[in-house]
Structure 1
Amino acid sequence: MKIAQIAPLAESVPPKLYGGTERIVSYLTDELVRQGHQVALFASGDSVTNAKLVACSRVALRLNHAVRDHLPHQIVMLEEVRRRVQEFDVLHFHIDLLHFPLIMDFAGRTVTTLHGRLDLPDLRPFYQAFPDIPLVSISNNQRQPMPPVNWAGTVYHGLSDDILPFTAKPKGNYLAFLGRISPEKRPDRAIQIAAKAGIPLKIAAKIDNVDKRYWETVIEPLVKSHQNVEFIGEINEHQKAEFLGNAGALLFPIDWPEPFGVVMIESMACGTPVIAFGCGSVPEVIDVGISGIIVDTVNEAVENIDRALRLDRRRVRETFEKRFSAKRMACDYLDIYRTLPGVRTHGARMRRSTRDALGVQTAA
C-alpha cells in the first residue's frame, strides 16, 4: 500500500526528548516500511525515518526559537498533503482536528488517530459537525465523552522491540516517575508515595511553559523538602532505557482520563512493573499482578510497593512483547486501512488507470 503518515510538527519524529505521539508515529512508520509498504512521512525536517521524509518545516517547531505561532507552519504542511493526495491509498493523520475540513472529499481514504483527551467541552460540537470522518481511539476509555462518530477501531500503542532493552536485575533501589510535570500527572502523589515508603524517587520530566508555575509553586518546593527525591529533568531515549530499566517500579499516579500512557509500556519493555492509579486507559494497559498493580490512593500505593517489586520482570517484558509491539500496532492499523471504503474504490480506480495507460483491454 501507498501510505501517508502526517505527524505533528512540534517535535521531530522520533522526538529528541519528550513526545509521545511523535514516538508512536515513528515506530508505526518504520514498521510499515519494514513490512514492505511505500510510506511517506510528513514531518519536521530533522526527523529520522526509513520512510520517504516530506519535510514540512526545517526543524521541530518547539526547538525553533524563531517560531512564535505553530499554526501557519501546520497549514503549509496541510497544503503539501492536499497537493499530493492522489499519490496515496491511505492518509493517516496524527494532528488532532485541523485537517478535517480539508479531507471531506476523500475522507474514505483517511484515518485520524486521536492521541489526546476528548473530555473537553469545546470538542463535542466540533466532532458533531464531522460525524463521518474515520477515527481511531488509542483506548476504549478514551471514547467515553464523545458524541456519535465514525469509529474505525481502537489501536493500542506499540513500541519497537529493540528500543528499550530488558533489564533482569535493576541496579538502582529507587522508584521512577517519567513524563510531564503537570497537575494531571500528579508528581506530588509520587513524592508522597516515596516519602511514606522511605524509598528514593527519581523524577525525569519535561516542564512545559504552561506548567512552570505549578512546578515553581508546588512541585519544586516538595522536591527540595525531601532528601530522597531527585529531579533529573527531561531525558532522551538512551537515558530512558537506563532510567526505567534500573528502577524497581514506575509510579504512574495520574488524576485524569489518560488516553493511553506510553510511559507504562516503555516501563514494561524494560521489565519494570508499574504502580498506577486506575484512571482512563490504565485498566486496559496494566495486567494486574503480571505487569503491574492498580491502586486508588497514595496509601494503597505504598502498601503495594513490595508486591510490585516481587513481580517477575521477565513476565512484565513478555506482556509487553505480546500486547504492545510495533508489529502488532502496524498490523492492527493495516486491518483498518483495508476496510476503509475509499481505499477499495481508490485502488480499483488506480488499477483501471494503469490498464488504460498500458492499453490493456478487459473481456466484455
Structure 2
Amino acid sequence: MKILLIMDPGIAVPPPLYGGHERLVYMFAEEYQKMGHTVYLLAGPGSKISGTAQSFGINDLKRSKFQKIKELLFAWKFLYKKRKDFDLIHNFGRLAYLIPILNASVKKIMTYGRTVDAKNIYWINKFANQNLRFTAPSYDCVASVKSIGHWTRVYNAIDFSKYKLAKNVGPDAPLIFLSRLDRVKGCHIAIQVAKATNQKLIIAGNISALESEKEYFDKEIKPFIDNEQISYVGAVNDEQKNEYLGSAKAMLFPINVREAFGMVMAEAMACGTPVIAFNAGATPEVIIDSVNGYVVNNKDEMIQTLDQVKLIDRSHCRENAESRFDVTVIANEYLTLFDHN
C-alpha cells in the first residue's frame, strides 16, 4: 500500500524538541514502513522519515496568515496532482488540505488530537465526499460532532519498546508530576497532595513563556521547591523520562482541562507506574481503575487513593496499556478503519 502522511509546517517531523503531533506522525510513518508499506510524508522543512519526505511551508509556529494561505495552496496543488498515486492519505494537519480530493476515490483519514470544532465538520460535510473517515483519541474529544460524518475513536500511541518496565519500587519511592507547568495542568495540586501525605514529589516539565504562567510558577510552585521533599528537574528527554517515571510509585495528573488524551499517562503506564488523575476529558477512557491507576474527582480523593497504588501490579499495568496504546496496535487500527464501515 502507498500511504501519504500530512502534517502542518511549523515544526519538523520528527521534532527536535517538543512536538506531540509531530512525534506521532513520525512514529506512524516508521511503523507503516516496518509493516511493508511505501510511505510518503508532506510536512515542514527538515522533516525526515525512512520513506520519502516532501517539504512545504516554513517552520515557524508564529508564521503569518498569508504564509498559511501559501501553504494551503501548495497542499491543494500537490494533493490534486497526486490524488491517484496513493492508496491512503492520513492527514494530521489542517482539514482544509483535503478539500480538492474530498470526492476522490482515495481513502482519507483525518486525525484530530484535540477537541474538534463542530463548525469545521459541518462545513466540510456539505461538500460531496467519499472514503473519508475522522478519528480522535477519545470519545470526549468528539462529543459535539460524533453524529456528523464517520467517526472512530483511535487512541494516541507510544512506542512501548522505548520504555523500560520497573517491576518494583520501594515504599519511599517518590511521586511524579510530568507536564508543562501551566496552571490547568495542576502542579500546585500535586504539591499539596505530596505535602498532605508527607511524600516526596519530583516535578518535571517546561515552564511556559507566557507571563501569566511564569507568574504562576514563581508564586505557586517555586516557593515549595526545596530539593528534598519537592524537587524540580526541568524539562526531560526520553532517557530521563524513563528514569523518573520508572522510579516513581505513582504519577499525579490533577488536570483542570478537558485533555483529549494525555500522552504522559500512557508513558507512565509503559514504565509500570500507575496514574491518579482527575476525572476530566479523556482520563476515564485511558485509566482503568485498579489496573493502571485511579480516576478521582478532587484533591481530597487523590489523597485518599494514594495508598492504594501499592495494590497495583506494575507488570499488569504496563501490559494492559501496551495492549491498547502501543504503536503497532494503533497503526493496525488505522489501516483497518475502512474494513469496518
Output the TM-score relative to the length of structure 2: 0.87
Aligned partners of 2:280 and 2:22: how far apart in 1?
23
Task: Map residues 32-111 of structure 1 onto 2, 5 A cutoff.
Answer: 32-56=32-56, 60-61=59-60, 68-69=63-64, 71=68, 74-75=71-72, 78=75, 79-106=77-104, 109-111=107-109
Paired residue type of 2:50: N
Change in CA separation of 1:56 and 1:170 when aligned onto 2, cut-off 3 Å: farther
CA deviation map 1:270-323 (0-9, x unaligned): 111101111111111111101011111111111111212442111111112211
- Once the two structures are TM-superposed, the CA of residue 112 in structure 1 deviates from its matched residue by 0.3
CA deviation map 1:20-71 (0-9, x unaligned): 222222222211111111111222343443232223357x535xxxx64362
Change in CA separation of 1:81 and 1:236 when aligned onto 2, cut-off 3 Å: farther
Aligned partners of 1:17 and 1:200: how far apart in 2?
28
Do the aligned partners of 2:251 and 2:275 also contact (CA within 8 Å) in 1? Answer: yes
Do the aligned partners of 2:177 and 2:204 also contact (CA within 8 Å) in 1? Answer: yes
Change in CA separation of 1:173 and 1:279 when aligned onto 2, cut-off 3 Å: same
Aligned partners of 1:302 and 1:193: how far apart in 2?
6
Task: Map residues 1-364 of structure 1 onto 2, 5 A cutoff.
Answer: 1-56=1-56, 60-61=59-60, 68-69=63-64, 71=68, 74-75=71-72, 78=75, 79-106=77-104, 109-118=107-116, 123-131=117-125, 133-146=132-145, 148-170=147-169, 173-209=173-209, 212-226=210-224, 227=226, 228-337=229-338
Change in CA separation of 1:8 and 1:338 when aligned onto 2, cut-off 3 Å: farther
Gaps of 5+ in 1: 341-364
Do the aligned partners of 1:3 and 1:92 also contact (CA within 8 Å) in 2? Answer: yes
Paired residue type of 1:124: A
Aligned partners of 1:317 and 1:241: how far apart in 2?
13
SS of corresponding position for 2:41: strand
Do the aligned partners of 1:290 and 1:316 also contact (CA within 8 Å) in 2? Answer: yes
Aligned partners of 1:98 and 1:291: how far apart in 2?
38
Aligned partners of 1:32 and 1:137: how far apart in 2?
19
Aligned partners of 1:259 and 1:129: how far apart in 2?
22
Aligned partners of 1:334 and 1:260: how far apart in 2?
21
Do the aligned partners of 2:110 and 2:135 also contact (CA within 8 Å) in 1? Answer: yes
Stretches (4+) displaced over 4 A: 337-340
- Once the two structures are TM-superposed, the CA of residue 166 in structure 1 deviates from its matched residue by 1.4
Output the TM-score relative to the length of structure 1: 0.81
Aligned residue pairs, count:
329
Paired residue type of 2:252: L
Do the aligned partners of 1:258 and 1:281 also contact (CA within 8 Å) in 2? Answer: yes
User: Sequence identity, in percent?
Assistant: 28
Aligned partners of 1:215 and 1:240: how far apart in 2?
23
Change in CA separation of 1:187 and 1:143 when aligned onto 2, cut-off 3 Å: same
Root-mean-square deviation (CA), in Å? 2.5
Aligned partners of 1:208 and 1:4: how far apart in 2?
34
Do the aligned partners of 1:223 and 1:229 also contact (CA within 8 Å) in 2? Answer: no
Aligned partners of 2:15 and 2:168: how far apart in 1?
28
Change in CA separation of 1:323 and 1:22 when aligned onto 2, cut-off 3 Å: same
